[in-house]
């Protein structure tokens, strides 16, 4: 699940390392984001921008990044939706003769 290199335009989450030192860390988010990768610096860190377009001033180390997967556009879910559309509706017809036999 961890990647070492990210391409510009990819969405990532950033590990929230400040939370690890707090006492109420269980109630705080472990990752912030998503952010969009702008570029990789010569030192190996990444310049990110928020979804509103504001670019971060400092680079973020690669070990703090995780790829972001949008829940609503996962390929597996799209494939399952396609299979659901292929299924035929069962034909349940009610026959009066079936009711008479059971009496």
In what side-by-side order are the strands of the sheet with 46-49? 46-49, 31-40, 11-15, 65-67
Beta strands in 8-71 (DSSP E): 11-15, 31-40, 46-49, 65-67
Rounded to an integer, the average pLDDT of 61-66 is 94
Go through the domains of the chain in sequence order and give each one's CATH number: 11-87 (2.30.30)
**pLDDT tens column, 19-38:** 877 777 788 888 998 999 99
Whether residue 72 is predicted with pLDDT greater than 60 in this model: the reply is yes
Residue 41 predicted with pLDDT over 90: yes
- 86 against 66, higher pLDDT: 66
In this prediction, residue 32 carries a pLDDT of 92
pLDDT surpassing 60 at residue 13: yes
Tokens 């504001």 sit on residue: 54
Backbone phi and psi for residue 91, each to the nearest 5 degrees, phi listed first: -100, 100
pLDDT attached to residue 61: 94
Interior/surface letters 52-88, b for 16+ CB within 10 angstroms, e for the rest: eeeeeeebbebebbbeeeeeeeeeeeeeeeeeeeeee
Cα 100 to its chain centre, rounded Å, is: 55
């Amino acid at each position: 699940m961890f990647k070492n290199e990210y391409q510009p335009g990819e969405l990532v989450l950033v590990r929230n390392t400040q939370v690890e030192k707090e006492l109420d860390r269980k109630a705080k988010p472990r990752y912030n984001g998503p952010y969009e990768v702008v570029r990789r610096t010569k030192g190996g860190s990444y310049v990110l921008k928020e979804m509103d377009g504001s670019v971060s001033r400092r680079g973020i180390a690669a070990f703090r990044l995780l790829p972001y997967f949008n829940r609503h556009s996962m390929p597996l879910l799209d494939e399952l939706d396609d299979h659901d559309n292929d299924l035929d509706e069962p034909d349940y017809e009610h026959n009066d003769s079936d009711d008479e036999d059971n009496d």
